[in-house]
Amino acid sequence: MEKSKETHSAKVLGPLHIWALGVGIVLVGQFMGWNFSIVKGGSLGSIIACWIIGVLYISLIMINTEMGAVIPSAGGQYGMAKHFLGPLAAFNIGLMLVFQYVMLEAADALVIGEILATIHPDVQPLPYIIFSLLVLTFMNYRGLHATLNLNIVLTGISFATILILLFSTKFYSTTGSIINLSGLTNGLPYGWMGILGALQFGCWFYLGIEGTALAAEECKSKERALPVGSIAGILTLILGATITWYVCSGLIQADILSNSIYPLFDAAKETKIAGVINILFLGTVLSCIASANGCIADASRAWASMANDTLIPEVFSVLHPKYKTPYRAIVFLLPIALAFGFTGLLDEVITFSILSALLAYILTALMMIKFRKMYPLGVIDRGYVSPWHPIPSIIVLVLSLATMAGMYFGYSINIISGIGFYLIASIWFVMHRSKFLNIESFISTEDSNWPRPKGY
C-alpha cells in the first residue's frame, strides 16, 4: 500500500457542472441508439417506452440524490453500496458502473467513426477517434473542473442543434411543416408486448444521468449541487428525447429510422437544408465528445474508488500530486474503451452498457430501502429527502426488471453472457481478491459520528 497516496479530490463543482456531467454523458443517446427501440416496439412503442423509462430515471435520481448527499466518499452508487450492502455488492456495483460508462464511451467512439466516414469515402476515421479520446483523457488527467467546463459548452451546443432541427421543420405551421408522422410512423406493430421490448433502448435516452452522484466528493456543496443539477438534467433529457423522437419519426420512414447509426443527422438530411445538415453533423460529433468526456470522468472515479477500498489493486487509487485526479485509473481504462469501440457492434455494445446499468439500478433500489431502515428520517442529517418513500424504489425495481424481461426478446444471449460475467467476477472476488481486503480502508472513518444503524 502506498502510504503517500492522497484520497481527497478538490471541491470545485457546482450545480451547472453536475448538470453538464449528467446531460453531457446522456445527450448522445438522442443522437444515436434510441432508435433501435423502433425495431422492438414500433414508432408508438418507442415514444411510450421513452416516457415510461423517464419515470424510472426520475425515481432513480430521487433515491440516488438522497443517499449520495450523505455518503462521505466518492464513487456514486458504489460508495453507497459499501456503506449499506457490504464488500461483494460494492465490488459488483463498482464493476457495473465501470462497464456501463466504458461501453457508452465505446459506442461514442463507434458513432464518431461512422459519421466521419460520411465526409468522404477516403476518410480514415481511426486517427481522429484515437486523437479525440486521447485529448479528452488528457483533460480528465489534468482535472475535472476544466473537463466539465468544456462539457457545459459541448452539451449546450449539442442541445441547441436539436432545437435548430426542430424549428427547421416548421412544425408550428399547419401548411408549411415537413413533419409527416401519419405517413412515416408504423404505430404498434407488435402490440403492447412491443412496448415491453422497446424499454431496453428507451433507456438510452437517459442512461448515465445517475452518474452525477459519482462527483459528489468534488462538489462545493453536494447538498445543493446534486439535487439541483440532477433534477435539471433529467428534465432537460425528457424534453430533448420527446423532440428527438418527434422530429426523426416525422422525417424518416420507420423501417429506415430503426436501423440508422445517427438518426438526428439522417433526419437533418431529409430537410435538404445544407446549413441544418452541417449543424447536425457538428451536433452529433460534439455530443459524442461530451459523452465520452463524462464517461471517462465517471468510469475512472468508480475504478479509483474500488482501488482505494482495496477491492482491486490499490495502484489505481493514487491521485496525481498536482491535479488531484485518479490519473492511473483514467489512463488504464482508455484502451479498453477503444477496443470495444472498434468491434463495430453498436447495438451489442449498447446492450451490455444497459444491462450493467439495470443490474446496478436494482441493487440501488434495494440499497435505498435498507438505508431508510438503517437510518430513518431524523437520525442523521440529509441534504435532500426523496419524497414518497418507498414508491420511487419500487418503481425502479419494477421497471428495471420489466426492461430486462423485454431485453430477452432478441438479446437473451447478451443477458446470459452479461450475468455470467458478473457471476464469474464475483467468484474471483470471493475466492481470491477478498483475501487482500483491508477492512480499515473499506470502512470509512468519516461517518464515525453517525449513530449505530437501527437494528444493527
pLDDT in tens, 304-330: 888 888 899 889 988 888 878 888 999
Does residue 124 sit within a domain? yes
Three cell numbers at 339?
A: 477496443
| pLDDT number for residue 215 | 62
Mean pLDDT taken over the chain: 85
Does residue 128 sit within a domain? yes
Q: Which 3 state secondary structure label does DSSP give 4?
A: coil
Q: Which residues 6+ apart lie within 8 Å of 444 measured at CB? A: 72, 73, 82, 83
User: Would you say residue 295 has pLDDT above 90?
Assistant: no
> Rounded distance, CA 265 to CA 165, Å?
9
| pLDDT number for residue 6 | 47
Of 210, 203, 207, which Cα lies nearest the Cα of 402?
Answer: 203
Does residue 456 sit within a domain? no
> Using one digit for the tens of pLDDT, what is the confidence trace for 389-438?
999 999 999 999 999 999 988 888 989 999 999 999 999 999 999 888 87
What is the extent of the structural domain holding 314? 15-442
Does residue 9 sit within a domain? no
Does residue 73 sit within a domain? yes
Does residue 455 sit within a domain? no
- Residue 74 gets which letter from DSSP? S
CATH number at residue 238: 1.20.1740.10
Q: What single-letter amino acid sits at 66?
A: E
User: Would you say residue 378 has pLDDT above 70?
Assistant: yes
Q: Report the number of distinct structural domains present in the chain.
A: 1
> At 13, phi and psi to the nearest 5?
-95, 145
Give the count of alpha carbons within 13 A of 352, CB side only. Answer: 24
Does residue 145 sit within a domain? yes
Instruction: Enumerate the β-bridge partners of residue 380.
Output: 377
> Using one digit for the tens of pLDDT, what is the confidence trace for 224-254?
677 788 888 888 899 999 999 999 999 999 9
Per-residue pLDDT band for 2 (boundaries 50, 70, 90) equals: very low
| pLDDT number for residue 448 | 52
| pLDDT number for residue 217 | 62
Mean pLDDT to the nearest integer, 112-130:
76
User: Would you say residue 357 has pLDDT above 60?
Assistant: yes
Does residue 453 sit within a domain? no
Q: What single-letter amino acid sits at 236?
A: T
Please answer whether residues 169 and 264 qualify as being in contact, where contact means their C-beta atoms are separated by less than 8 angstroms.
Answer: no
User: Would you say residue 52 has pLDDT above 80?
Assistant: yes
pTM, 2 dp: 0.86
Mean pLDDT to the nearest integer, 211-216:
64
Torsion sign across C-alpha atoms 164, 154, 30, 207: negative
